[in-house]
Amino acid sequence: MFQIIRIIELCKQIPHLYKDIINLYNQYLVQINDLIGPAVDDIQEVDGNDSDEEVDDTSQEAYEL
């Protein structure tokens, strides 16, 4: 009987555990955002090839190896 009561008590605690997990996850996301945010702000556009296609400068001999 004691085991059943203990199981019921643990089941009642599950929603609180989920809330704690979500709070920790949100804190982790905030920390990541704090690290990435300044780096994203520092990105500068560079002059160069504006094409979406990559330029393949590899010689044909390299592919034949």
Domain range annotation of the chain: 1-31
| Rounded CA separation 46/50 (Å) | 10
Contact predicate 59/65, CB 8 Å: no
The whole-model pTM stands at 0.43
User: How confident is the model at residue 58, as a pLDDT?
Assistant: 60
In this model, does residue 65 exceed pLDDT 60?
no
Determine which helix (DSSP H) or strand (DSSP E) holds 28, and give its type and residue range: helix 2-41
- Residue 49 and residue 55 in contact, taking contact as beta carbons nearer than 8 Å: yes
- For 14-64, what is each residue's pLDDT tens digit? 887 888 888 888 998 888 888 887 776 666 666 665 555 566 666 666 556
